[in-house]
């Protein structure tokens, strides 16, 4: 089978890339002064729902860093707000759900939502960002995968062990399946809305699914993630990402996606070979490396590029989001280093 990525890049960039393309997880954010300037005027949710400002923030990393794609500025949790569970972002602790789902009954009572009504502002951001980009680089949309969304609904915020989520799926298998399939439908419709508005590729974030055993992934997650991906408009590349997923990667590949995200806990070369070169990979620098010297960044970037061995189908990325203490010059240096070292 031909590697997935040349087609992916053709579709995305509509020009051959002379080097390994790079974009970054959470490429806009608090480490950027120009982002903080916008946030001084607007609360986080308010910013996500202000198409003009959100489109501006979407373009900031393209202008400042020279990355090869723009990533929509939004958040995976925005879809939870119309479910009426009370979403807020606090300065100290990040996201909070005021009324978490703690019973089968509550899961079954979640309302149906019409994404065009509930999330139309995000589609407006996509359209504006696409226009402002004028095809300089492609625009990537994104959404949370059903498991990661369900984990926030149940835990009510960030979690280390996901004990409530794991207890829920076992104690209430029917309500779990119903909620996951509702979330899969929402995710599919939400991503299709972004595609219709102009997103040229989409990324599905199953950030916390690495907490599960392979058997649990198969039983409680895979059918729903597959359903969300299969609902997407054909021909639009899908990036499927999670953290700590070393033991789940073949299952995630089977669930779907043209590109599989790798974090730094796995070695890129051998992991890609195991997964098969018929799928593209994205990754996998430890974001903590960006806090070290530029020499250390160069060294680590080279090791990853060596692992990919110049094969088409590798997108350079971080294994997870950029830490807020990261010097923005280090992020810029990484982008330049990857372009330089991979120039062909
Ligand atoms: O990459 C980009 O630049 C696009 C923007 C983007 C944000 N969130 C903006 C954001 C993306 C792609 C996300 C995805 C997201 N959000 C994920 C999946 C990716 C991942 O990191 O695993 C998750 C789990 C969330 C939920 C979320 N949103 C958390 C846990 C937090 C708080 C912790 C943190 O890292 O800041 C957020 C807030 C958030 N989302 C910020 C940004 C820029 C910081 C908010 C602020 O400005 O105060």
What was the pLDDT predicted at 1? Answer: 43
Cα angle for residues 276, 220, 218 (degrees, 5° grid): 30
Binding site membership of 95 for ligand 1 (Cβ less than 6 Å): yes
Rounded to the nearest angstrom, the distance between the alpha carbon of 322 and the centre of ligand 1 is 10
Q: Is 68 a catalytic residue?
A: no
What's the pLDDT at 18?
A: 84
> Which H helix or E strand runs over 289?
none
What is the per-residue burial (b if ≥16 Cβ within 10 Å, else e) of 285-322? bbbebbeeebeebbebbeebbebbeebbbbbbbbbbbb
Separation between Cα atoms, residue 48 and residue 27, nearest integer Å: 15
Bridge partners of residue 318, in order along the sequence: 285
User: Which amino acid residue places its CA nearest to atom 33 of ligand 1?
Assistant: 94
pLDDT at 15: 55
pTM: 0.96
* Alpha carbon distance 255, 263 (integer Å): 18
C-alpha 26 – ligand 1 centre gap (Å): 6
What does the angle CA 145 – CA 75 – CA 329 come to, to the nearest 5 degrees?
115
Atom of ligand 1 nearest to the CA of 94: 32
The CA radius of gyration of the chain, in Å to the nearest whole number, is 19
Closest CA to 315 of 15, 31, 8: 8
pLDDT at 91: 84
Mean pLDDT for back-to-back runs of 10 residues, the chain (344 residues): 50 66 95 98 97 98 97 98 96 92 97 94 98 96 98 97 98 98 98 97 98 98 98 95 98 97 98 96 98 98 97 95 97 98 89
pLDDT at residue 9, as a whole number? 54
The reply to whether 39 belongs to the active site is: yes
Give me 87's structure tokens. Answer: 């979403």
Among protein residues, the one with the nearest Cα to ligand 1's atom 27 is: 95
Output the pLDDT for position 344: 72
Mutate to test the pocket of ligand 1, among 29, 38, 57, 139 (most ligand atoms within 8 A of CB): 29
Q: Which atom of ligand 1 is nearest to the CA of 205?
A: 18
Residue 73 CB neighbour total at 10 angstroms: 24
Instruction: Indicate if ligand 1 lies below 6 Å from the C-beta of 208.
Output: no
Q: Which two tokens stand for residue 164?
A: 């409530």
332 lines ligand 1 (CB under 6 A): no
26 pocket-lining for ligand 1 (C-beta < 6 Å)? yes
Look at residues 239, 238, 286 and name the one whose alpha carbon lies nearest to residue 261. Answer: 239
CA distance 153 to 133: 34
Q: What is the pLDDT of residue 200?
A: 95
**Residue 44 CB–ligand 1 contact under 6 Å:** yes
233 carries an active-site annotation = no
CA 275 to chain centre: 20
Which residues are bridge partners to 88 per DSSP? 96
Q: Indicate if ligand 1 lies below 6 Å from the C-beta of 30.
A: yes
What SS3 class is residue 140? Answer: strand
- Report residue 129 as tokens: 């960002």
User: Beta-strand (E) ranges in 194-320?
Assistant: 201-205, 238-241, 259-261, 280-285, 314-318
Q: Point out the catalytic residue in the list 68, 75, 206, 263.
A: 75
217 an active-site residue? no
From atom 37 of ligand 1, which residue's Cα is the shortest distance away? 94
């Amino acid at each position: 089978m031909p590697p997935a990525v040349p087609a992916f890049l053709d579709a995305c960039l509509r020009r051959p890339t002379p080097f390994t393309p790079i974009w970054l997880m959470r490429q806009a954010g608090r480490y950027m002064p120009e982002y903080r300037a916008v946030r001084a005027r607007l609360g986080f949710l308010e910013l996500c729902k202000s198409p003009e400002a959100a489109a501006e923030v979407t373009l900031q990393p393209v202008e400042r860093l020279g990355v090869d794609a723009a990533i929509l500025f939004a958040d995976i949790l925005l879809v939870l707000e119309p479910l009426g569970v009370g979403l807020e972002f606090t300065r100290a602790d990040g996201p909070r759900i005021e009324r978490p789902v703690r019973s089968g009954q509550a899961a079954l009572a979640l309302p149906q939502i019409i994404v065009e009504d509930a999330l139309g502002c995000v589609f407006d951001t996509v359209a504006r960002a696409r226009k402002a980009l004028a095809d300089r680089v492609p625009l990537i949309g994104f959404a949370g995968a059903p498991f990661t969304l369900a984990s926030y609904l149940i835990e009510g915020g960030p979690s280390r062990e996901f004990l409530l989520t794991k207890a829920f799926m076992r104690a209430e298998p029917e309500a779990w399946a119903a909620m996951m399939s509702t979330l899969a439908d929402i995710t599919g419709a939400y991503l299709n809305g972004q595609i219709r508005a102009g997103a040229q590729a989409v990324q599905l974030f199953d950030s916390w699914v690495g907490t599960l055993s392979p058997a649990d992934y198969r039983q409680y997650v895979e059918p729903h993630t597959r359903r969300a991906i299969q609902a997407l408009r054909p021909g639009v590349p899908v990036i499927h990402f999670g953290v700590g997923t070393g033991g789940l990667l073949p299952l995630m590949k089977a669930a779907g996606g043209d590109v599989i995200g790798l974090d730094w806990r796995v070695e890129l070369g051998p992991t890609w070979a195991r997964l098969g070169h018929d799928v593209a990979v994205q990754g996998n620098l430890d974001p903590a490396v960006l806090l070290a010297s530029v020499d250390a960044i160069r060294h680590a970037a080279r090791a990853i590029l060596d692992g990919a061995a110049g094969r088409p189908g590798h997108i350079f990325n971080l294994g997870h989001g950029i830490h807020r203490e990261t010097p923005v010059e280090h992020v810029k240096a990484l982008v330049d280093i990857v372009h330089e070292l991979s120039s062909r």
